[in-house]
């Protein structure tokens, strides 16, 4: 018999529906927590993803640790105890907020998947239940993919009622092999649905492509042919295609985009959590978009990354630079900078801009991001769906897998470049491919993983010295080690 709420605490530090550790000990999942419809009940497994772009820390840890994004300290604003700065400079520790938050969200998904599987296992002979259990196992594998990608060796627990309360860590390679096997075993039960939010064939094949593309990082053994195989499986579905416009997958009403495979379905009122526009736009950018809330003037693109875009690259229109205007077309000024014109300059003079810098430098430096459409009248949260997996990524993964096997990936890369309005390439190299991934997948939480796979993550870049190899993964949070000392060994 297990105290299930204690198990939840040890893995998530977020007690779902209860914060009382003196709950009565029970030996089964409470029946009143689930309905008769397993598909409806799967929502609790998806729930942790809602916070990936905000308090969950996932987006911050993937983008701000990279060479493309930064959150400058602006005269004390956005200092926040250095929690943004340490991500960019690779000087985090196991108490850094984003790192501590990710762990709890990922394991919350694992725990809920385990609980769901054991609840419905008694009816697994029914086709609809068997399919739901297969999807739950694939979702659990997705969370473990995030865990080994970010933390390396972690506890691998696949039971709820019989889970060890203080499990040991399992080697990363072992978890990789287990989750790949589980996904491949269960995907035949998954439908060919075109749903953007469900576990579908397209989602599963893309997940497997991602796992195999990063197999060398996770296990020491590359598996490029398997990565290519699953990219081909996505392509062969004929369910996805590139949008005609490079920014079309990111418009407000992108729920039916032909390009997006699997998304987080944000809604400004009913499914909140997409507030990255608040973090990048200037305080007075609300006048540009007639926003109902005032933005916070923080995140910016590194100048070096901004400069990788050619002037005729249509994706460059996803940045805000130069003179900013109101929704009626009037030039805006910044009252906080003595009425200076509100002009975004891609050049950022320093990661920490103190009183020795002018207010114009402090408040207006850095190109801002509008890759995801900010509609007129935008609120503090956007309604744009956020793609976890996207067809353009599949094409670039296909190209990479081919090139790494000694082949030519031009066809797949040029589909992306031609759509962006830039010249085709011949004999694409891995270095070029990494640059193109940076342009195409910018702001979508892929850059950290890409830099690691290409062995670029530890190199020096703007305001960051070369970092040591251990920085390729994050430390297990201190609060988790306090709850389970086995995680500290």
**CATH architecture, range 1-68+88-190+466-489:** Alpha Horseshoe (1.25)
- What are all long-range contacts of 75-84, with beta carbons under 8 Å and residues at least 24 apart? 75/353, 75/354, 75/355, 75/357, 75/359, 75/362, 76/354, 77/297, 77/298, 78/296, 78/297, 78/298, 79/352, 84/60, 84/298
Residues spanned by CATH 1.25.40.390 within the chain?
1-68+88-190+466-489
* pLDDT given for residue 37 in this prediction: 73
Mean pLDDT, the chain, whole residue set = 93
Q: Which CATH architecture group holds 199-242+254-265+389-457?
A: Alpha Horseshoe (1.25)
**Measuring CA to CA, which residue among 122, 58, 359, 77 is closest to residue 85?**
77
Residue 386 has φ and ψ, to the nearest 5°, of: -105, 120
**pLDDT at res. 30:** 44
Of 301, 317, 304, the C-alpha closest to 422 is: 317
- DSSP 8-state assignment for residue 356: T
Q: Where in the chain is the domain with CATH 1.25.40.10?
A: 199-242+254-265+389-457
> DSSP 3-state assignment of 386?
strand
The pLDDT value recorded for residue 308 is: 98
Residues 346/321, Cβ–Cβ less than 8 Å = yes
Residue 356 has pLDDT above 70, yes or no: yes
Average pLDDT over residues 130-136: 96
The pair phi, psi for residue 286, each rounded to 5°, is -60, -25
pLDDT at residue 347 tops 60: yes
- Give the pLDDT score at 32: 54
Structure tokens at 469: 């190899």
Residue 297 vs residues 72, 121, 263, 279, 316: alpha-carbon distances, Å: 10, 49, 27, 6, 20
β-pairing, 260-264 vs 368-369, is: unpaired
């Amino acid at each position: 018999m297990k105290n299930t709420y204690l198990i939840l605490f040890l893995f998530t530090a977020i007690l779902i529906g209860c914060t009382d550790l003196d709950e009565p000990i029970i030996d089964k999942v409470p029946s009143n927590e689930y309905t008769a419809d397993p598909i409806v009940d799967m929502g609790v497994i998806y729930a942790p993803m809602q916070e990936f772009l905000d308090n969950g820390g996932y987006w911050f840890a993937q983008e701000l640790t990279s060479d493309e994004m930064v959150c400058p300290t602006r005269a004390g604003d956005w200092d926040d105890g250095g929690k943004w700065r340490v991500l960019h400079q690779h000087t985090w520790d196991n108490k850094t907020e984003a790192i501590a938050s990710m762990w709890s969200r990922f394991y919350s998904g694992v725990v809920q998947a385990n609980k769901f599987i054991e609840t419905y296992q008694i009816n697994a002979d029914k086709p609809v239940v068997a399919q739901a259990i297969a999807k739950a196992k694939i979702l659990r594998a997705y969370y473990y993919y995030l865990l080994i990608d970010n933390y390396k060796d972690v506890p691998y627990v696949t039971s709820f009622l019989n889970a060890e309360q203080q499990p040991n860590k399992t080697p990363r390679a072992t978890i990789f092999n287990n989750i790949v096997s589980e996904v491949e075993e269960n995907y035949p039960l998954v439908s060919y649905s075109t749903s953007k939010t469900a576990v579908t064939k397209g989602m599963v094949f893309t997940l497997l492509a991602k796992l195999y593309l990063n197999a060398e990082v996770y296990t020491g053994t590359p598996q490029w042919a398997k990565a290519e195989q699953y990219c081909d499986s996505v392509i062969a579905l004929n369910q996805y295609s590139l949008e005609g416009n490079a920014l079309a997958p990111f418009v407000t009403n992108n729920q039916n985009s032909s390009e997006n495979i699997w998304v987080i379905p944000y809604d400004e009122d009913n499914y909140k959590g997409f507030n990255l526009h608040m973090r990048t736009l200037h305080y007075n950018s609300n006048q540009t978009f007639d926003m109902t809330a005032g933005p916070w003037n923080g995140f910016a693109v590194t100048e070096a990354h901004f400069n990788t875009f050619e002037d005729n690259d249509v994706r460059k229109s996803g940045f805000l630079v130069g003179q900013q205007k109101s929704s009626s077309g009037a030039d805006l000024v910044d009252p906080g900078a003595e009425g200076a014109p509100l002009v975004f300059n891609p050049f950022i003079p320093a990661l920490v801009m103190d009183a020795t810098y002018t207010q114009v430098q402090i408040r207006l430096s850095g190109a801002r991001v509008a890759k995801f459409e900010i509609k007129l009248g935008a609120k503090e949260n956007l309604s744009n769906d956020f793609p976890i997996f996207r067809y353009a990524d599949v094409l670039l993964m296909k190209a990479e897998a081919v090139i790494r096997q000694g082949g030519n990936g031009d066809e797949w890369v040029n589909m992306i470049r031609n759509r962006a309005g830039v010249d085709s390439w011949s004999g694409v190299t891995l270095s070029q491919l990494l640059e193109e991934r940076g342009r195409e997948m910018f702001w979508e939480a892929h850059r950290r993983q890409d830099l690691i796979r290409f062995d670029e993550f530890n190199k020096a870049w703007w305001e960051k010295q070369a970092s040591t190899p251990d920085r390729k993964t994050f430390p297990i949070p201190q609060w988790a080690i306090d709850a389970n000392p086995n995680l500290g060994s």
